[in-house]
Amino acid sequence: MPELPEVQTTVNGLQEKVLGRTFVDVWSDHKKVVKKPTPSAGGFDLFKKLLKNKKIIRVWRRAKNVVFELSGGYSLLIHMKMTGHLLCGAWSMKHGTWVAKNAGPLDEKINGYLHIIFFLNNSQMIALSDVRKFAKIELVLTKDLLAEFEGLGPEPLEKSFTFKNFEELFVVKKGKVKEVIMRPQFIAGVGNIYASEALWWAKIHPAKDVSHLSLAELKALYVAIKKVLQLGINFGGDSFSDYRNVNGEKGKFEGSKRVYQRKGEKCFKCKTLIKALKIGQRNSFYCPKCQNL
């Protein structure tokens, strides 16, 4: 978490709130969150200096990365990792703690683990709440960032990502299908939740080797991946854990999940009890009848 739908939901919210705004200052109590510039190159101090007066030209997503394309040929990358989420609002420091100026979702405890705050030229702020401090931030030249992205797999929701493209990814591939489709170098943005959901819709056991997938199964999986990712975006992501949108609100995908975290509950298709198994050290949820190995 967050996965493609959560990151896209964040990007959609940022596009509405911060496009055209300019960074005027940055605060942090965890400066290690900034990975580039590196400490040897000037670290947080250089980051702060370079970011100041940069205008936000575009906000977009690549895989699970939020990208602010800035003036001056720079881009700000934020990867929220396991427990991070970006918020937009206004906060004031009280007794050493940042407190939201307006009552509402931003007051929720999970939105209060603020470790970096970006100040904009309209008195608004962008904050990163991250209880486990795993998030990553980089400020780099845009051309270097694009080169960094070359190793990522295709975007599954792009119109240009056809079934032929999808089928070609599996040529001479081996490995358990759930592990394979979660690799960012294979397909961008598919994580544990949406991989489990897509495999249920496609009626494919998560441990099945990709070399044994039939053409019909590949087609079903292609459709299912697109389906669940778009559904996730439509519902504003999944908030069973820490994720919140830029307003601090929960996503509503929870009620649309068919197998993820439903171990011991009845399958929506056949009423068989959902099971779980470990694949690649991650819990995988499936219906043993609908997704027979």
Instruction: Tell me the catalytic residues.
Output: 2-3, 64, 282
Six token digits for residue 288: 């043993």
The answer for residues whose C-beta is within 8 angstroms of residue 278's C-beta and 6 or more apart is 284
CA 24 to chain centre: 26
Which positions ≥6 away from 122 have C-beta within 8 Å?
A: 21
Residue with token string 């778009």: 230
Q: In DSSP terms, which residues pair with 100 in a beta bridge? A: 91
Distance CA 128, CA 65 (A): 14
> Looking at beta carbons, which pairs linking 232-236 to residues 24 or more positions away fall under 8 Å?
232/3, 232/4, 232/5, 232/6, 232/193, 232/194, 233/4, 233/5, 233/8, 233/9, 233/12, 235/5, 236/9
Sheet of strand 34-36, all strands in order from the earlier edge strand to the far edge: 34-36, 136-141, 74-79, 65-70, 56-62
Answer whether 243's CB lies under 8 Å from 2's CB.
yes
> Going by C-beta distance under 8 Å and a sequence separation of 6 or more, which residues neighbour residue 266?
272, 273, 274
CB neighbours of residue 248 within 10 Å: 21
